[in-house]
Amino acid sequence: MKQGDLNRLAVFCLTVCLAIGGVAVAADASSDDLVPMVVNLLLDKDRDMRALGLQQVREAAKGPAATRRFVALLPKLPPDGQAALLDALATRGDTTARPAVLEMLHSRQEAVRAAAVRALGALGNAADVPLLVRTLDAAGSEKAAARTSLVQLMGPDVTAALVGQMKHSPAETKVKLLAVLGARRARDTIPAILKAALDDDADVRTAAMRVLGQLAKPKHIPAMLKGLLKARPGPERDWAEKAVMFVCKRIPQASQRARPLLEAWKGLNAADQVSVLPTLGRVGGPASLKIVAEAIADKDPRHHAAGVAAICYWPDASVAPQLIALARSEPDAPRRLLALRALIRVAALPDGRSNAQRLVLLKKAMSMATGDDDRNYVIKRANAIRSIETLRFVAPYLGQPAFAQQACATVVELAHHRELREPNQAEFHRALDVVIRTSKDPGVVDRAKRYQRGQT
Amino acid sequence: MSRVIQTTRRDFLKKASLTVAAPYVITTAALGAQGRPPASQRIVMAGIGIGNMGSGDQKSFTGRRDVQYVAVCDVRKQVGEAAKGRVDRHYKNHDCKVYHDFRDVLARPDIDAVHVATPDHWHALIVIAACRAGKDVYCQKPETRTLREGPLMIAAARRYSRVVSGGSQRVLEDYRKTVDQCWGGELGTIKSINVNVGPLSQPCNLPAEPVPPGMDWDMWLGPAPWAPYNHSRCDGNYSTGGNSWRSYRDYSGGGMTDWGAHHFGGATFAVDVRELQPVEVVYNNQQGKEFLTYRYPTGLLLYHNHPGMQNLQVVGTPGEKRPPKAVPTYKGHGGIYGDFLYCVKTREKPFRDIERAVNTIVLAHMGIIAYDLKRSLRWDRAKQEFTGDEVANRMLDRARRQPWQL
Amino acid sequence: MMWYQTGTCLAMATAPAALSGAALAADPPPDAAAVNKAFEALKSFDWGTDQKLLKPIDDAVMAAHSNAALQRELEPRLAAVLKTGASRDAKDFVCRKLMLIGTAASVPVLAELLADNDHSHMARYALERIPAPEAASALRDALPKLSGSLKIGVIGSLGVRRDAASVSALASLLSDADAKIASAAMCALGDTGNSEAARALSACTKKASKEVHPALADALLVTAERLLADGKKAEAIAIYKSLGGEDQPKLIRLAATHGLLVAAGKKE
């Protein structure tokens, strides 16, 4: 090592070669010299050498003293170097770096500010929540970084700070904060989220119900129903109903899933009970079916309509007889179609019935279908019933132009399952031949050819 | 190197090493639609082993705007040509090159990163050779075929500062509910978790069949013992019960390693021991029902096929809540592929960094040995050997067929 | 054969080496007649033959792990097959079993196969994993008699064994006219990774042909890692410094820098 090289090392002006030499000299001296070696590398002109230095910041030279040395470099680096070092300091996880990170939030470079915001997620605390919440409304990459940091930020008071921010924020920010609470799985904030489910703003209500669908427990269903009832018909109501359904479906015993909803339903007034009927349908179960059947039979058109909607949401095929009856004899044509489509949906569901039973019901639905769209829907749903009889059911449609494309897709989907295809090679071979000749979808043709060659 | 170098027809590594900083070489025709990063900022990639999993990986990488996909490699001519067709159709040109020898891919100085989806017995050799050639690597799971291979892959990645990602997307994506419960502290202190996966692979003695045209059979076997061609020996389907290379011991650990990479990976991530390796594996046999208990240095137990327990069933501490921890996730955008590419750019460790992938697959390999020997084993992570069990230590690795060496 | 006639030794196979108080299963006792039948089957065993015919030998080999007498009986019986005209598949099977229970006693017959194109690999399959020093000696002694791929295979096996006694033999190959053999020897010395190997590798840096430079650099880097792991920090640093010059490819300089960082972070 030449003296001149050492001097250049001292002023952090190294070529790649000098970096190597400088590092070697430092290593000779003492293991404590790792930090100056890293500092040199961070200032190197070569990108790969700098990457080595950043790797050390992330993983080596532990302790606050080293962190302070690295932090001190921030003002000396160009913007991309600052951003990279901030990211590395975040991974390093030493909160000693937090004050410097806060400083960098004032950078004139967006990339640097975004990196500082990202770093706060790992290095910040509850005191940084207001700043991060404000940044949710920033432009560009800072916004996404703020959202990520608010999800990652740890500490005992963070969720309380988030809830506190929600109280005085505009609706748009509330929506973002609710998503953050959901991503944090912040169950301790469920009371606040339930309150938001009654907000005057529809977007806030929807966001709150979606989060409740992820986090709430059966005991929260009565309160969730208040939110559901406040939801406007359409997508908002749809989401609210699904949220309640998700909570019920998390109950491990299938027989108990409807119980909390039914108990809450009983406590509602008559009008609200009608409004909640479709939700009962989404959850299903024998006790709910009794209520729904009564509603369908009711002469009050509102009750009847809600009952039909409920049964059309049913999660299994236990209501097939009722759906068949409705599809045949419901006076209102749109509701008749709704019932037929529900029948097609539940017919193929894997709900414990044999393949043969499922196919019989699907064929029944086909016999009741009056339009090509519905028939195509039947052919599409057939792909869920993995049996050779299904192939035999679908194969004739390959030759009918109105159904050929959907039939091709279903045949290929059935052929995908090797355990079905291999024992019935000859039949699949014939059907796939037709698919290759008929399908207009290159992806379907490609798959058909692969399956014919015995590939997956 | 070796091993690879020793056997190369060209001195690929020398060329690669000398030219690692050379600018990317992309033809004008390869330049894509507007809005893509300029060619100089794209990651130039190639695929090695481009069949079932490889073709899926290839589609994912070619679909990325920050990737320029330039070459495919497969020992089966037709498979390589089909892959070239897909790439060329994607870019609307004819530029994708086809190779049947991975060394020729690694010798190209313009290639920054490769994805590897060969049968498992090739993984370590190609990954290490790629690191030595200065390439970053996305390697399909299971990343190793023997216990000895893992530390050598990690060492090569670290030595050359390469980004090497394992290939299980399911670790993060498939068991999210369990992950969230454990990291969220809802289950209290985690005491155990169970993984149900199998079966173990078996020896293969299939009869000889004519080698089909376009198949380089010797290269398919590579470091594995010589055996005659048979279509079932080398079929890339996902079966582990026969009729595929995944069923046979020379090429795979069977379901134990294949799905094990997913399930063990998901389990160790959920209970946050992905940086650790167990200190012992206890072989249990209850009335003919075999299962394993892995014990971690933290005291946590990980069961394999515990009777009566479901896959990824967690036993926590009832009534106890722990402070939540932020769940690690992919960097960048686009799942595990986006995570890898992000790290190629930033030089960070990917979510399935090779060391974590190895920590996962160690469980499968240890388990296979414990089941084979029907006895419990102690594991010394620092020495990477079993303590006091000479026979088990013989099973840490297997000699590779010449001229291949790690 | 004594081991299956008396049953005394078989009882040893059931002795558990329990960890954590876990109950262990007893190995199923090998059935003598079945094992004899399996050895008969081995004579005509070939690709496509039903593998179940050999299962009794598999079971006996597993039982032999914890039964020294059984092992002593089984090993020569397996080794003897290697001297017969049994098929390649049958001999491969035997080598796989000797990999598990072979001792110095099997080394001579395995060593004879090292020069055989068809059997060299599976002979190493056993020899590479048999802990007895005789196995390493046999590999080492085979080096002068081999060339090409077979020699490269044996060199690699010595590297895997990290056989210190083979350093000088491997060092003598560093200037081999066949660059592939020289490169293989470099890699094997890297795997061995002791001070003597480091000296041998360092000594050839000046005279090594350009063709072998990548292998040499990698071997030196591997050696430095092993020296560092063994607490020989100064020796490791010397190697890293030697690879940091501008005459080295950038990838190697990066690796050397990384090595120096690791060394610097490591306490003496």
pLDDT tens, position by position, B232-255: 999 988 888 888 999 999 999 999
Contact (Cβ atoms closer than 8 angstroms) between residue A276 and residue A265: yes
> Which pLDDT score is estimated for A251?
93
User: CA-to-CA distance for A451 and A429, rounded, in angstroms?
Assistant: 9
Give the type of residue at C141: D
Q: Under 8 Å CB-to-CB from B286, ≥6 apart: which residues?
A: B307, C23
Mutation site for C-interface testing, chosen from A9, A15, A17, A20 by largest number of C Cβ within 10 Å: A20
Quick: pLDDT tens for A49-84. 999 999 999 999 999 999 999 999 999 999 999 999
Q: Give residue for tokens 């054969």.
A: C1
The C-alpha atoms of residue A428 and residue A451 are separated, in whole angstroms, by 9
Q: Is residue A29 part of a domain?
A: no
What pLDDT was estimated at residue C123?
98
Q: Report which DSSP code applies to C54.
A: G
Contact check, Cβ <8 Å, C24/B132: no
Would you say residue A416 has pLDDT above 60?
yes
Helices and strands counted in chain A (H then E): 29, 0
Name the pLDDT band for B40 (thresholds 50, 70, 90).
confident
Q: A312, A344 in Cβ contact below 8 A?
A: no
Q: Which residues does C206 contact at the CB level (< 8 Å), separation at least 6?
A: none
What is the enclosing helix (H) or strand (E) of A302? helix A301-312
Question: Which range in B3-7, C247-251, C264-268 is most confidently predicted, on average pLDDT?
Answer: C247-251
Q: What is the dihedral of CA B119, B120, B123, B124, to 10 degrees?
A: -150
pLDDT by residue (tens digit) across B169-211? Answer: 899 989 988 999 999 898 999 999 999 999 999 999 999 999 9
pLDDT at A268: 97
| Cβ contacts of B375 on chain C, cutoff 8 Å | 16-17, 24, 66
Inter-residue contact A110 to A118 (CB < 8 Å)? no
Return the amino acid letter for A396.
P
Nearest by CB to residue A56, choosing from C261, C263, C267, is C261
As a whole number, the mean pLDDT across chain C is 90
B137 pLDDT more than 60: yes
Contact B297, B382 (CB under 8 A): no
User: What is the amino acid identity at position C1?
Assistant: M
DSSP string, A6-71: HHHHHTT---HHHHHHHHHHHHHH-GGGHHHHHHHHHT-SSHHHHHHHHHHHHHSS-SHHHHHHHH
CA atoms within 13 A on the CB side of A101: 30
Shortest Cα distance from C96 to chain B (angstroms)? 10
- Measured over the CA atoms of residue B230, residue B236, residue B237 and residue B241, the dihedral's sign is positive
Tell me the C-alpha distance between C232 and C235, whole Å.
Answer: 6
Q: Does A442 touch chain B (CB under 8 A)?
A: no
Residues A142, A143, A145, CA angle at the centre, nearest 5°? Answer: 65
pLDDT for A11 beyond 80: no
Say which residue the tokens 């500082």 belong to. Answer: A116
Position B386 scores a pLDDT of 98
Ranges of H-type helices in B222-353: 231-234, 255-270, 335-346
Give the structural domain span for A434. Answer: 394-456
The encoded tokens of residue B305 equal: 């096929």
In the block, which residue shows the tokens 């960070």?
B348
Closest CA to A448 of A422, A409, A396: A409
C44 touches chain B (CB under 8 A): no
Mean pLDDT score, C106-120: 98
Pairwise CA distance, residues A447 & A345, whole Å = 26
C28 — pLDDT class (breaks 50, 70, 90): low
Q: Between 3.40.50.1100, 3.90.1150.10, 2.40.50.100, 3.40.50.720, what CATH number should domain B2-140 receive?
A: 3.40.50.720
Residue A379 burial class via C-beta count within 10 angstroms: exposed 0-12, middle 13-18, buried 19 and up: buried
Amino acid at site A215: L
Residue C215: list chain B partners with CB under 8 A: 1-2, 5-6, 13
Task: State whether residue B161 is helix, strand or coil.
Answer: coil
Give a yes or no: residue A375 inside a domain.
Answer: no
Among all residues of chain B, which has the CA nearest to that of C48?
Answer: B207
Instruction: Identify the pLDDT of residue B18.
Output: 37
Alpha helices (H) in B184-331, listed in sequence order:
217-221, 231-234, 255-270
Residue A389: other Cβ atoms inside 10 A: 13
Q: Number of A:C CB contacts under 8 A?
A: 62
Kindly state the DSSP code that residue B332 receives in the 8-state scheme. Answer: S
d(CA B106, CA B103): 5
Spatial contact of A291 and A277, defined as CB atoms under 8 Å apart? yes
Average pLDDT, chain B: 90
Give the Cα separation of A205 and A227 in Å (integer): 7
Write out the DSSP string of C69-135.
HHHHHHHHHHHHHTTTT--HHHHHHHHHHHHHH--GGGHHHHHTTTT-TTTHHHHHHHHTT--SHHH
Q: What's the half-sphere exposure (Cβ side, CA atoms, 13 Å) at B356? A: 24
In a domain, A130, yes or no: no
Outline where B201-325 has alpha helix (H). Answer: 217-221, 231-234, 255-270
Closest residue by Cα to residue B147 from B388, B362, B398: B362
A455 vs B: CB within 8 A: yes
Most confident of C9-18, C113-122, C204-213: C113-122
Instruction: Classify burial at B403, counting beta carbons within 10 Å of its beta carbon; exposed 0-12, middle 13-18, buried 19 or more.
Output: buried
Q: How many domains does chain A have?
A: 1
The answer to whether residues B297 and B276 touch, using CB atoms and an 8 Å cutoff, is: yes
- The SS3 of residue A287 is helix
- Across the interface, whether the CB atoms of B283 and C187 are under 8 A apart is answered no
Distance from CA of C199 to the nearest CA of A (A): 20
Average confidence (pLDDT) over C136-163: 98
Highest mean pLDDT among A59-63, A364-368, B30-34: A364-368
Phi, psi at residue B202, to the nearest 5°? -125, 165
Q: In what order do the strands lie in the sheet with B289-295?
A: B314-315, B192-195, B301-304, B289-295, B280-286, B377-380, B385-386
Q: Inspect the interface and report whether the beta carbons of C125 and B225 lie closer than 8 Å.
A: yes
Least confident of B223-237, B238-252, B294-308: B238-252
Least confident of A133-147, A356-370, C17-31, C133-147: C17-31
The answer to whether the CB of C222 falls within 8 A of the CB of C191 is yes
Instruction: Give the residue extent of every domain in chain C.
Output: 33-145, 163-268
Residues A100-115, mean pLDDT to the nearest whole number: 96
Instruction: Inform me whether the C-beta atom of residue A9 falls under 8 Å from chain C C-beta atoms.
Output: no
Distance CA A115, CA A135 (A): 13
Q: Tell me how far apart the alpha carbons of residues A67 and A101 are, in angstroms, rounded to a whole number.
A: 12
Strand partners, B293: B282, B303
Is A37's CB within 8 Å of C267's CB?
Answer: no
Report the residue of chain B nearest A80, measured CA to CA. Answer: B346
Residue C266: what pLDDT?
86
Task: Write the ipTM.
Answer: 0.91
| Neighbors of chain C by Cβ distance (3+ pairs < 8 Å) | A, B
For A295-328, the pLDDT digits (tens) are: 999 999 999 999 999 999 999 999 999 999 999 9
Residues in Cβ contact with B185 at an 8 Å cutoff, skipping those fewer than 6 apart: B321, B322, B323, B324, B325
Who among A55, A185, A187 is closest to B347 (CB)?
A: A55
Residue A139: burial class (beta carbons within 10 Å; 0-12, 13-18, 19+): exposed
| pLDDT band with cut points at 50, 70 and 90 for residue C50 | very high
Residues 85-124 of B with CB under 8 A from C: none
- Which is nearest to A418 in space by CA: A377, A375, A386? A386
Is the model's pLDDT at C26 over the cut of 70? Answer: no
pLDDT single digits (tens) A188-241? 999 999 999 999 999 999 999 999 999 999 999 999 999 999 999 999 999 999
Q: Do B161 and A48 touch (CB under 8 A)?
A: yes
Give the pLDDT confidence of A110-142 residue by residue, as tens digits: 999 999 999 999 999 999 999 999 999 988 899
* pLDDT for res C29: 61
Q: How far apart are CA C188 and CA B2, in angstroms?
A: 9
CATH topology of domain C163-268: Leucine-rich Repeat Variant (1.25.10)
% of chain B beyond a pLDDT of 70: 91
Instruction: Identify whether the C-beta of residue B293 lies closer than 8 Å to the C-beta of residue C20.
Output: yes
Residue A215: helix, strand or coil by DSSP? helix
Amino acid at A431: A
